[in-house]
Structures are given as C-alpha cells and as structure tokens.
Amino acid sequence: MDRRLLVGGGVLALGVAVVLWPKKRVSPEDEVRQLIASMVAAAEKKDLGTIADGIADDFHGPSASSKHEVKQVLLGQLFRNQNVVVVFNPSLDVRVTNDNASFTGVFVFARATDVNWQEPGDGVSRYDIEGTLERRSSEWKVTSAEWKR
C-alpha cells in the first residue's frame, strides 16, 4: 500500500475523531457569567452596542427605568471623560432555574491608572447590582436590575 495513502487515511481519521469528539456543554450558570463578562469587557471598550444587546427590550429598572434610560446612564459613565475606563467585577453570584436566572455582584468603574477600587474618590464608582435574566431564543437577556451606588 502506498505510504502517502496510509498517512492521508490516518490524518482523515484523526480529523473525523476531532470533529465528532463530544463537546463539553456549558452550564446555564456559566452562560450567564459569560454574558456578564462580555458586558464588562464591552464597558471597558466603551462599546455600548454590545452592552445593549445583552439587555432585553422590555427591561425594567429602578423607578421603572427602561433599556433606553439605562443606556443613557451607561453613556454618561463610559464617556464622562477621555480617561480609560477599567471595570472590575470582584464578586458575582449567579442562580439559575430553568430559563430564568438572577445575579448579585459588585461592579467598579475606575477612570484612572492608579486607582484603589476600595477607596472612594473622583476616579471610582462602585455599584452593587442585583438583576434577573431570561433565556430568550437560546440567549440570555437581562430583564431587570436594581443598583446601589
């Protein structure tokens, strides 16, 4: 048998095995954590569109605030000045039941290079946020949130 044919068959068999190998499923809790992490990363990039994509159109927040109003608050936070924004999320608790989830976490926006997020100051804003999510069309969306500064 031709050696090239044998090697080619081995490579093909290896490729098929890789494609058909069972993939590790991501848990719903990890999906929610990934969504929140992507929203945090988008905040650092000042990418309001990606953040808004994670928020349900029928979102409701404090004082019946809408998705549009949340976007306005974020716009003020992210574009208040030209400094780089760094967002820390030192704690995040996620609970999932079927197609519903909730989270509580601390989110810190820092606007300077030498910032101690545990100390109050001009360059730091800390938010304690509690929110709910729903799985909609196989994607998680934030449907409500309350926050304290």
- Please, what are the averages of pLDDT over each run of 10 residues along the chain (149 residues)? 56 56 82 97 92 96 90 80 82 97 93 59 82 96 94
pTM here? 0.76
Rounded to 5 degrees, φ, ψ at 74 are: -65, -40
pLDDT of the residue at 76: 80
pLDDT of the residue at 58: 97
pLDDT of the residue at 42: 94
pLDDT of the residue at 118: 59
pLDDT of the residue at 87: 87
**Cα 62 from Cα 76, distance rounded (Å):** 17
List C-alpha distances in Å: 143 to 22, 95, 101, 110. Answer: 33, 15, 10, 26
Between 3.10.450.50, 3.30.70.260, 3.40.980.10, 3.40.50.2300, what CATH number should domain 27-148 receive? Answer: 3.10.450.50
pLDDT of the residue at 149: 86
Strands (E), the chain: 55-60, 86-97, 100-110, 124-136, 139-148
